[in-house]
């Protein structure tokens, strides 16, 4: 068969494991992972979340232990989300400004125990604090008010920065909030507190289990389509990213993840800035459902999906599989 094939055989470098490793274009490490975690009231409390199998809410003391576990595995950052008790929720989300709220207590506790061993990213939006489940303040007609909401988001950001947040991550999608938050952080002397903007956050059907985790599914009146992006749009995502970068964002996020890999790639190629992807609760739940049905191997699926984010251009991934993936990667 000499001469029957071209000199180039693309299978040749795939023949041995060492060769596949040497030729590998994309590498995934625990340092690429951010672990979203849920904090709740009490002491010694772990509350499993049925729609997120394997994920729990933890009280502050147990969350400190989870933070230490993550740091030991080489995960560089936690993303914190509070389960605010019903009696602390209000139409104006005032609990977001309480310096002793659940988020701030968790920040101080982790910082006291772990110092700078792990980064702390905090969500900035009012939905964990409002009685109506929307990310901002409502007008009389139920429309989420942009400028009035920004004033509260600025206060929320400063509250979290004072408690020890390393990265402020506004997920509210109000126009102009990045510039207002950046100015406030600079004025208060928090010049090294980063902003990771949820710049391209879509009004997605994949958020359901998250709303269970922070107990807003039953509260939400209406939907979030007037401020989160239309899943049909990609040019608009570039405009959102461009605006947030101009206002002072250090990095940007695309949310959800796998259904929007094209957006990750477009943002990376257009702006050449750090881009993060959020593998959201619905994506996690689908993997776990496939595993439970015997239709998939968890280890292989977790690593393949995370690798896809990196291959698309993501600098890192927020994923509920972070600890599991980090363990696999350390083997």
What amino acid positions are annotated as catalytic residues?
A: 201, 255
Distances (CA, A) of 189 to 185, 193, 207: 6, 9, 35
Please list, in sequence order, all residues whose beta carbon lies within 8 angstroms of the beta carbon of residue 253, skipping any fewer than 6 positions away: 169, 196, 197, 198, 199, 200, 201, 275, 276, 277, 278, 318
CA nearest 213: which of 54, 92, 70, 75?
54
Contact 164, 147 (CB under 8 A): no
The gap from C-alpha 254 to its chain's centroid, in whole angstroms, comes to 9
Task: State how far the Cα of 162 lies from the Cα of 158, in Å rounded to an integer.
Answer: 6
Antiparallel, parallel or unpaired: β 46-48 and 56-59: antiparallel
Task: State how far the Cα of 319 lies from the Cα of 283, in Å rounded to an integer.
Answer: 9
Q: What string of DSSP letters covers 91-123? A: TT-GGGG-TTSHHHHHHHHHHHHHTTSSEEEEE
Task: State how far the Cα of 281 lies from the Cα of 51, in Å rounded to an integer.
Answer: 9
> Interhelix angle for 298-312 vs 281-292, to 10°?
150
Task: State how far the Cα of 167 lies from the Cα of 193, in Å rounded to an integer.
Answer: 6
Task: State how far the Cα of 62 lies from the Cα of 171, in Å rounded to an integer.
Answer: 26
Task: State how far the Cα of 210 lies from the Cα of 320, in Å rounded to an integer.
Answer: 11
Task: State how far the Cα of 241 lies from the Cα of 316, in Å rounded to an integer.
Answer: 17
């Amino acid at each position: 068969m000499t001469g029957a094939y071209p000199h180039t055989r693309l299978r040749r470098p795939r023949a041995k494991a060492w060769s596949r490793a040497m030729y590998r274009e994309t590498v995934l490490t625990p340092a690429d992972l951010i672990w979203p975690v849920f904090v709740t009231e009490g002491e010694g409390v772990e509350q499993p979340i049925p729609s997120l199998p394997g994920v729990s809410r933890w009280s502050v003391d147990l969350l400190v232990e989870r933070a230490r576990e993550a740091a030991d595995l080489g995960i560089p950052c936690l993303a914190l989300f509070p389960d605010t008790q019903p009696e602390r929720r209000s139409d104006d989300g005032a609990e977001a400004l309480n310096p002793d709220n659940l988020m701030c207590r968790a920040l101080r506790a982790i910082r006291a125990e772990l110092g700078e061993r792990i980064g702390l990213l905090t969500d900035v939006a009012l939905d964990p604090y409002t009685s109506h489940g929307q990310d901002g303040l409502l007008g009389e007609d139920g429309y989420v008010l942009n400028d009035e909401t920004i004033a509260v988001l600025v206060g929320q950001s400063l509250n979290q920065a004072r408690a020890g947040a390393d990265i402020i991550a506004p997920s509210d999608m109000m126009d102009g909030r990045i510039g207002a938050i950046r100015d406030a952080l600079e004025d208060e002397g928090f010049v090294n507190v980063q902003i990771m903007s949820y710049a391209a956050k879509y009004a997605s059907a994949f958020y359901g289990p998250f709303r269970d985790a922070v107990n807003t599914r039953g509260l939400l009146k209406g939907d979030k389509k007037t401020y989160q992006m239309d899943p049909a749009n990609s040019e608009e995502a570039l405009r959102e990213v461009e605006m947030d970068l101009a206002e002072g964002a250090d990095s940007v996020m695309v949310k959800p993840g796998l259904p929007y890999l094209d957006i990750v790639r477009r943002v990376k190629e257009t702006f050449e800035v750090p881009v993060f992807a959020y593998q959201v609760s619905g994506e996690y739940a689908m993997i776990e459902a496939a595993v439970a049905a015997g239709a998939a191997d968890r280890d292989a699926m977790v690593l393949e999906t995370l690798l896809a984010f990196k291959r698309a251009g993501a600098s890192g991934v927020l994923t509920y599989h972070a600890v599991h993936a980090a363990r696999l990667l350390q083997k």
